[in-house]
Amino acid sequence: MAKNLKFKSARAAKDMSQKELAEAVGVTRQTVNAIESGDYNPSIQLCVSLCKVLGKTLNDLFWEDEESDQ
């Protein structure tokens, strides 16, 4: 799984630490880190919660561009 740079940059744009984002959605900082690292595939419910806090859509944060698949 590739690193989720879109997710990480959205968090940084909101000036939130991994810990602050984790607390906002009810998970651990390690979970947020694992999502950013591409080591964890979050549930759709967690994805929606993250999108709401970050003010982004599912496509904005989790849709992989076709170019990156090649």
Spatial distance between the Cα atoms of 68 and 19, rounded to a whole number of angstroms:
29
This prediction's pTM: 0.85
Looking at per-residue pLDDT, the higher value among 69 and 65 belongs to: 65
3-state secondary structure of 56: coil
Q: pLDDT value at position 69?
A: 46
Q: Which domains does the chain have, with CATH numbers?
A: 5-57 (1.10.260.40)
Task: Give the type of residue at 48.
Answer: V
Q: pLDDT value at position 70?
A: 44
Q: pLDDT value at position 1?
A: 58
- Number of neighbouring beta carbons within 10 Å of residue 61: 20
pLDDT in tens, 12-29: 999 999 999 999 999 999
Assess contact for 63 and 5: CB atoms under 8 A.
no
